[in-house]
Amino acid sequence: MQLPSRDLPFEVPKYSLTGDVLSFQRCGLQYRYYNRSSLPPSRPVQLWTGEFVHGVMEEAFLYWQLHQPSFPWPCNQTPWGEFLKPTDRCDYDLGVLGDRVETRLRASGKTPRNKNARDAAYRRVEAAMTLLAPDLFPLITAVEEKLSSTRSMPIANSRGDRYELTGIVDVISSVSLATHQNNPLVQMINSQIPGLSGQFDVIVDYKAARRPPMTPPQNVKPYWQHEAWQVQTYAWLRAQQPNRNPVKAGILIYVNELSPSQSDLNDLKTEISEGQTDVQPSSGSADYYALNTWQTGQGLSTPNFTINFLRQRAVRIVSVGDIEINQAVAQIDEVISQIERCALQENAKGHIPNHWNADGGAGDCDACDFRRFCPSPAQRRQPGKQPRPLQPPIAPG
């Protein structure tokens, strides 16, 4: 008697919205080496800031949910180079929450680039907790929510006829226009997406980055569009789950805008002069005066912007109607088909660089481990050329 052999296990190809889709959109070849070969970055510091900001905001919300201490919270960070010591700081001191997150990151080999990068991350988290958390936290119903669903594989002759799309949403907020009408975040949603009514969910995503330009300069990727598609696709993923409120808006929070660095401010000035940004101080306002009298230079302070201007720069409302969601998931399908096509060609020909686009934008190549042998145009990697850094690498999640 012949025993039947068991079929090989069939796996549905799985793609993460951040780890695969956004990484491939950043640079195809870099994605191939880091994500599909599981090569760790030689400088994991690149991931530290994003994961630190996400981690502290989550720790802070979980503490607030249980104890609800009033805002603002103290921030006494452990001095640079010192490890956890007994202190008299309170449980919700952002320095204490930060220590906890830093310990976790250190255990996975992630440390800040230097003292300035660490100080900036603490400054930004403190600003987010002071300027946004009092309005955001009361709306939150879930944090770090994992979402997944399957979609038809967009190309033929691939590894399957469906693929699984996954994502982790930083925050889900439940909004009722009747009860939250005085909340400034809800007012921003209401003013930018007319016609909303009743109860609905909002997807919130923290970005440890500055607000990208709407029309990017040459050699800078269209992060503005990519990030909107990300939130709109989260909305599609959530709509696949049963018994959910409809998602009617997304909020992207650009944490760097709450405490901008000198290079952030120089980029802002350039974007204003070239008409590339959607939020700028109105002519003659205190913020306009502060920005235009500000001088760049070591040791000089940054302008004293009004809280309203900082919030307007930091908070971006994304519309997530049916049309936008359909357009976004079509774009995600297109990225998946490109990745599958590259993988099939590499598999057939056995050569990596010829089949994955080496198309990193400004800032990506500087920090890339593969630039020494990358076939991208040589001028991108000239030693003296300083493309402006725009976005840090993507933190998982």
Residues of the shown chain interacting with ligand SF4 in the complex, contacts defined by CB under 6 A? 27, 29-30, 358-360, 364-365, 368, 370-371, 374, 376
Per the CB < 8 A criterion, the answer to whether 184 and 135 are in contact is: yes
Question: Partners of 145 in the beta sheet?
Answer: 169
DSSP calls for 155-201: STTSS-SEEEEEEEEEEEEEEETTT-TT-HHHHHHHHHSTT--SEEE
Least distance (Å) between residue 274 CB and ligand SF4: 24
Least distance (Å) between residue 371 CB and ligand SF4: 4
Least distance (Å) between residue 343 CB and ligand SF4: 16
Half-sphere exposure (Cβ direction) of 277: Cα atoms closer than 13 Å: 20
Least distance (Å) between residue 328 CB and ligand SF4: 24
Tokens standing for residue 14:
């799985």
Nearer to ligand SF4 among residue 123 and residue 388 (C-beta):
388
Nearer to ligand SF4 among residue 187 and residue 219 (C-beta):
219
Least distance (Å) between residue 240 CB and ligand SF4: 33
Question: Partners of 172 in the beta sheet?
Answer: 142, 203
Least Cα distance to 325 among 238, 232, 234 occurs for: 232
Residue nearest to ligand SF4 (CB): 360
- Residue position matching structure tokens 């007994």: 86
Rounded Cα distance, 366 and 89, in Å:
39
Nearer to ligand SF4 among residue 29 and residue 153 (C-beta):
29
Nearer to ligand SF4 among residue 30 and residue 391 (C-beta):
30
Chain-centroid distance of CA 312 in Å reads 18
Nearer to ligand SF4 among residue 144 and residue 369 (C-beta):
369
Nearer to ligand SF4 among residue 125 and residue 368 (C-beta):
368
Radius of gyration of the chain (CA): 22
Nearer to ligand SF4 among residue 200 and residue 370 (C-beta):
370
Tokens standing for residue 342:
């590259």
Least distance (Å) between residue 225 CB and ligand SF4: 19
Per the CB < 8 A criterion, the answer to whether 204 and 250 are in contact is: yes
CB within 8 A of 266, min separation 6: which ones?
Answer: 296
Rounded Cα distance, 145 and 140, in Å:
12
Nearer to ligand SF4 among residue 29 and residue 101 (C-beta):
29
Least distance (Å) between residue 289 CB and ligand SF4: 39
Least distance (Å) between residue 384 CB and ligand SF4: 16
DSSP calls for 255-286: GGGGS--HHHHHHHHHHHHTT--S--PPTTSH
Rounded Cα distance, 233 and 165, in Å:
10
Nearer to ligand SF4 among residue 6 and residue 372 (C-beta):
372
Least distance (Å) between residue 222 CB and ligand SF4: 16
